[in-house]
Chain A
């Protein structure tokens, strides 16, 4: 302190001449000038503070999702240091786990082999839940003290367990009902978006992935076993698309209750094409409800050609056509191409779900689920919970709304029509079911040169208070089952048996 004072005395001598040159303002000015520098300082302090908050927020809430990306090479680096967590079904069955082989090396084991192959996926292929929960599976408990003690003990820490919403009984029912056919089954809770089962055939054994990969992807193997048809497959929607055609017709014609059409087994329009009803059946006089229930192509081709194409396109865009569906799975992009330049034939075909329209089964499921859920489309999800090996919950996924397809009145009306499909129309498989189903069948031609058709069913049950919605597609050439609705019935039976 003394030294400093001395210094000050020394310097105060030449202060006078400094003053003349240096000093600009009088004392009162000093305060005001300080105010500016202080203000600038505070601005920067606020900016830096905001930056810190942003980084903390990023690490706390965003990092987990972001790092879970196949482009992130650091995951592989971490993989070696952690024992990968297990993947569990909703009731706690182990669907995937890491065990040591005879040589002490870590091996990923899938106890149910091909039963869950697409949905649980394979660590080797980086597919399914193994991919979407990759980072959680190799993250440790998340407890600070645990992390330090693992670090210190130098033993391999255990990754987190991932709990899915999958129900083994439904998965098995769907798997068996599909039999040897190619196709897909997905069921979910329309009110939450929790996926109950997801099967795609043909399947593969994920335990063999590393050995068989080249065979599966070879040119000779035309089955594309690795593709998850439930999410990535794109099919012509066939008559299931009439849900959207109906919705658009209702919007353009508020008096749709007075709709009347006399079906003569086929419809042809000037400048258009001729579209026959399925099996050339003649439906006679129909209301809109009858036409929907009978899945009458003649009525819908005529009605479809009369729709306002711009509005129809807009509706389909709201219904997530022509865009990537933002769900945590690899979903194919559904397409809807009708516009002002399209021919009348294309408009007729589009009205009955043929033409250039393509849809993925998960997308079709989301649409029917929105009808079941008063017009609100929920975001489908598989991972319900992340927990430590000891079972303490680390995070939970809560249901989230994806978008709104239509008003609840519109949804109720279409649900009523879908119920009629079962009670009086094409959904005959459910006539004697112990639960009330509403749904829509579909048969989609996919190749002009063959008579083979894809068989669709989308629906939900119970009609009054939907608990489960389902989507089934059987690829053309299926055998052993009459159609998709019988596959759906097997799954719904398993659900309502419980």
Chain B
């Protein structure tokens, strides 16, 4: 009887995430307020449904262990509180973005709890802490206008953090981690945000060639330190942030092509100079002949996705622990294995939905600073999703970055929550940002004239 339930649950999960995804896309374009409210309700229902079903199965599979029930109830309260507080205090913040964040976290919580209960507990605490700590960000972002004046300070702070990591990893052999007493932080995750703020402030002042040159030199310093400290994922993300922001600030494609050219040249050089870069490429080109060595991880990841097939093996029915450090860099493969490919495709669409929401506010911001911050954060988020999923699928070489909100990892989760808080801060300001009702109307009529509606 139980096994039938497990089998049916696979399809229920897929149904729920599909319904959720459809609702988030529909809600992103719909203008009818009542219908949108209905869609939001659908989303919350699906979120609660997926979260409940996941933990119910885990509870059943772990001999009705009450720890899972307690964790479930606390997480449920956390989700509802997050959604409610954002709605109450920031009525103009993007509800979709908040919902998506909670949904992705819910999926992550389930998978992490399935692999390691203690890790799930830790992840949950960090989520609570992070949401609490960042709750004021939208308010501060709105009140304090001087964020745009500290360009060089952001850069200095970011570089300092990176140098500290490089130093600690060289001296203590730690892996991209700073040990601060009992907690360990991965500064790379936060440098992404500082980097966005830095470039946005610099270009907000002016976009002359001199300024571009200044930004470029500092950006190269960031990337170089990251490559030397073997954090290729973050290095690439910073590069993409830089390219996207310079394009958005200067409107000049010449800068884009120049930096892409320089980027390719730099990657060739990095390949020649650094053995760890070469190793990543070698694994990517042929993991199979190194399956019992350095290629093991990616092969296991492909097995997981392949075995999961369309509908997955069912929650708790697979073997995600076969992939080393599965719940960090290979969360995507774990999900594909147990929930199936259809489920993870929907998950990708939800991530894309987030990206569209961030870019949407970017295009609506009239202030260059905010627009650039949004573009930077959006590019960072989108490219990180691409890097981790592409890496897990052997589409591109592995870079060892996490799937935002879903993967296990305190720093990753914290910085992702921070990004959403910043973006919601901009959504919260959007009416101040919108200039006149005339223009607003124009946008609306444009909306209505779309044939799809």
Residues on A lying within 8 angstroms of B by beta carbon are 1, 4, 7-8, 11-12, 14-15, 18-19, 21-25, 27, 30, 32-34, 36-41, 44-45, 47-48, 51-52, 54-56, 58-59, 62-64, 66-67, 69, 71-75, 77-78, 144, 147-148, 151-152, 154
Contacts and interface: CB of A to CB of B under 8 A. Distances in A.
A41 B353 CA distance: 11
Given A56-B341, A74-B318, A66 B379 contact: no
Nearest to B345: A52
A21 B145 contact: yes
Given A24-B368, A63-B305, A152-B4, A36 B355 contact: no
8 contacts: A1-B33, A38-B363, A40-B359, A47-B382, A55-B344, A59-B310, A63-B305, A71-B292
A14 B8 CA distance: 56
Contacts of B296: 71
A122 B11 CA distance: 35
Looking at B351, B379, B433, the one whose CB has the most chain A CB atoms below 10 A away is: B433
A40 B310 contact: no
Contacts of B3: 154
Given A27-B439, A59-B305, A151-B8, 9 more contacts: A8-B440, A11-B431, A18-B432, A18-B433, A37-B359, A41-B363, A48-B349, A59-B306, A74-B318
B22 interface: no
Given A58-B393, A77-B318, A63 B432 contact: no
Contacts of A62: 306
A258 B240 CA distance: 68
Contacts of B351: 48
B348 interface: yes
Given A44-B359, A74-B307, A154-B7, A24 B375 contact: no
A22 B433 contact: yes
Looking at A51, A54, A148, the one whose CB has the most chain B CB atoms below 10 A away is: A51
Contacts, number: 165
Contacts of B345: 52, 55-56
Contacts of B435: 15, 19, 23
Nearest to B362: A37
Nearest to A9: B437
B430 to A, nearest CB: 10
B83 interface: no
Contacts of B390: 51
Contacts of A4: 33
A148 B433 CA distance: 52
A69 B4 CA distance: 29
A97 to B, nearest CB: 24
B26 interface: no
Contacts of A36: 247-248, 251, 375
Contact of A33 (B244, B291, B360, B371): B371
A147 B340 CA distance: 14
The 10 A-B pairs at the shortest CB distance, nearest first, are namely A63-B306, A37-B363, A67-B306, A151-B7, A41-B359, A22-B367, A72-B303, A74-B307, A44-B382, A36-B248
Given A22-B433, A47-B386, A67-B303, A40 B375 contact: yes
A63 B375 CA distance: 36
B11 A48 contact: no
A145 to B, nearest CB: 12
B248 A74 contact: no
A52 to B, nearest CB: 6
Contacts of A73: 319, 322
A52 B332 CA distance: 13
- Indicate the size class of the contact surface on chain B: 35 or more
B258 to A, nearest CB: 17
A55 B341 contact: yes
B35 to A, nearest CB: 12
B61 to A, nearest CB: 15
A40 B292 CA distance: 40
A103 to B, nearest CB: 22
B268 interface: no
A51 B386 contact: yes
B11 to A, nearest CB: 7
A224 to B, nearest CB: 23
Given A32-B251, A74-B322, A151-B7, A11 B303 contact: no
Contacts of B307: 63, 67, 72, 74-75, 78
B443 to A, nearest CB: 11
Contact of A54 (B4, B248, B393): B393
A11 B386 contact: no
Contact of A77 (B319, B362, B379, B432): B319
Nearest to B317: A77
A156 to B, nearest CB: 11
Contacts of B38: none
B126 to A, nearest CB: 27
Contacts of A38: 359, 363
Contacts of B319: 73-74, 77
A17 B431 CA distance: 14
A23 B382 CA distance: 27
Contacts of B244: 40
Nearest to B390: A51
B103 interface: no
B341 A37 contact: no
B53 to A, nearest CB: 16
Contact of A45 (B302, B352, B360): B352
A15 B386 contact: no
B172 to A, nearest CB: 34
A25 B378 CA distance: 23
B336 to A, nearest CB: 8
A47 B311 CA distance: 24
A358 to B, nearest CB: 21
Contacts of B137: none
B50 interface: no
A8 B386 contact: no
Contact of A37 (B145, B300, B304, B375): B375
Nearest to B358: A41
B389 interface: yes
Contacts of B366: 22-25, 30
A45 B356 contact: yes
A58 B305 contact: yes
A51 B322 contact: no
Nearest to A19: B435
A64 B306 contact: yes
Nearest to A7: B431
Nearest to A36: B248
Nearest to A75: B307
Interface in B366-418: 366-368, 371, 375, 378-379, 382-383, 385-386, 389-390, 393, 395
Contacts of B318: 74, 77
Contacts of A7: 92, 431
Contacts of A40: 244, 247-248, 359, 375, 378-379
A52 B348 contact: yes
Nearest to B1: A154
A144 B340 CA distance: 14
B348 A48 contact: yes
B299 interface: yes
B437 A8 contact: yes
A1 B322 CA distance: 53
A180 to B, nearest CB: 38
A37 B248 contact: yes
A48 B322 CA distance: 27
Contact of A147 (B145, B247, B311, B352): B311
A69 B371 CA distance: 49
Interface in B315-336: 317-319, 322
B216 interface: no
